[in-house]
Amino acid sequence: MGISKNDKLKIEILKKLSENGHEMSLNSLRAELGGLNYYKVKNNCDFLELLGYIKNEKKGIRSVEYNFISITDKGIDLILEFKK
């Protein structure tokens, strides 16, 4: 049985965050992934956050709230396992 497209997207999200090395806004992450649908990326990030692989922080900039995503140590460990 193969990996679903959603699971591939979750892995790609973790890879992009680990390569970046610092937090990214949800929109910049979406753009890095090829301009995917905002809600598709957000829902996958919400799932990864539930598992503890990423951290989502809301920050206000000029009275507008943005989502900033960063990878956790647990997420980095998972990506290192995939690279083996």
Q: Which domain holds residue 56?
A: 5-83
What mean pLDDT, rounded, does the chain reach? Answer: 89
Contacts of 38 (CB under 8 A, 6+ apart): 26, 27, 30
Check which CATH number belongs to the domain holding 76 and give it: 1.10.10.10
pLDDT grade for 10, boundaries at 50, 70 and 90:
very high
Instruction: State the average pLDDT over residues 35-42.
Output: 89
Residues 25 and 38: beta-carbon distance below 8 Å: no
Instruction: State the average pLDDT over residues 28-49.
Output: 92
pLDDT grade for 1, boundaries at 50, 70 and 90:
low
Q: Return the pLDDT at 3.
A: 81
User: How many structural domains are present in the chain?
Assistant: 1
Q: Return the pLDDT at 76.
A: 92
Distance between CA atoms of residues 71 and 50, nearest Å: 13
**Tens digit of each residue's pLDDT (9 = 90 or more) over 13-35:** 999 999 888 889 999 999 999 87
Q: Residue 22 corresponds to which tokens in the numbers above?
A: 């610092």
